[in-house]
Amino acid sequence: MKPAVTERRKIHPHKFALWLAMGSIAMMFAGMTSAYIVRMGQGNWRIFQMPVEFYFSTAVIVVSSFTIGFSLWAFRKRKMPLYRVLATTTLALGLLFGVLQVLGFYQLYAIPQALTLANGTTIMQSVRLTGNPAESFLFIIFGLHLAHILGGIVALSIVFWRAYRKNVKVYNATGLEIVATYWHFVDVLWIYLFLFFLLNR
């Protein structure tokens, strides 16, 4: 009698590629925020106030993580009406999150900010762009973050479109799992950036 052969469960190649990409993105943002702290300690640094839009957007993306998680559950249970509602809700929340992020980023330059000089003196500036090094860091960090949000919204739009297709013959959740994982990652990434700028100001 031949011994039973146990097959190892292999990770889907697309999922593996996603985890590699998320690891690279996480290390990139960790490096940029570390450089932010180092440069801030050298003085002549513009301190930004946290816009209220960022607080609202944090709540929105946390809720959207729950809705996309439940939409994956509904899809696996073949509860298609519920899945469609949750997919629609997630896309709407994703779009709202993106809008709030853009508005918050704009407010960073509209609100008078404190500027700490090399001698320790703090002054208030109402000019939106002053050429301060802090502005360059924010442009890069938030610019890349907004690009990842845009990618997530495109993925959510594809999920929304597929949810309303009339003929669903194969219930394969792999694509939805990938999108859900990426959106959770965007959620965690934003919370990290939100807390980072909240504590370093």
Please give the pLDDT value at position 170.
63
More confident residue, 125 or 38: 38
Q: Mean pLDDT score of the chain, rounded to an integer?
A: 83
Q: Is the pLDDT of residue 4 over 50?
A: no
Give yes or no for residue 24 having a pLDDT over 80: yes
CA distance between the termini of the chain = 70
pLDDT of 44? 75
Q: What per-residue confidence (pLDDT) applies to 9?
A: 65
Q: Which of 132 and 166 is assigned the larger pLDDT? A: 132
Cα(190)–Cα(31) distance, rounded to whole angstroms? Answer: 15
Sorting pLDDT into bands at 50, 70 and 90, what band is 5?
Answer: very low
pLDDT at position 7 is 45
DSSP alpha helices (H): ranges in the chain? 13-40, 52-76, 80-110, 133-163, 174-199
Domain ranges of the chain: 13-42+79-199
The answer to whether residue 27 scores a pLDDT higher than 60 is yes
Q: What percent of the chain has pLDDT over 90?
A: 48
Phi, psi at residue 120, to the nearest 5°?
Answer: 95, -5
In words, the CATH class of domain 13-42+79-199 is mainly alpha
- Name the pLDDT band for 46 (thresholds 50, 70, 90): confident
Mean pLDDT (whole number) for 42-53: 80
d(C-alpha 145, C-alpha 148), whole Å? 5
- Name the band, by pLDDT with cuts 50, 70 and 90, for residue 48: confident
Query: Span 121-145, mean pLDDT?
Result: 71
Residues 15/181, Cβ–Cβ less than 8 Å: yes
Q: CA nearest 149: which of 79, 111, 100, 87?
A: 100
pLDDT of residue 181: 95
pLDDT at 1: 45
Neighbours of 165 (CB within 10 A): 8
pTM of the model: 0.83
Q: Who's near 148: CB < 8 A, 6+ residues apart?
A: 25, 186, 189
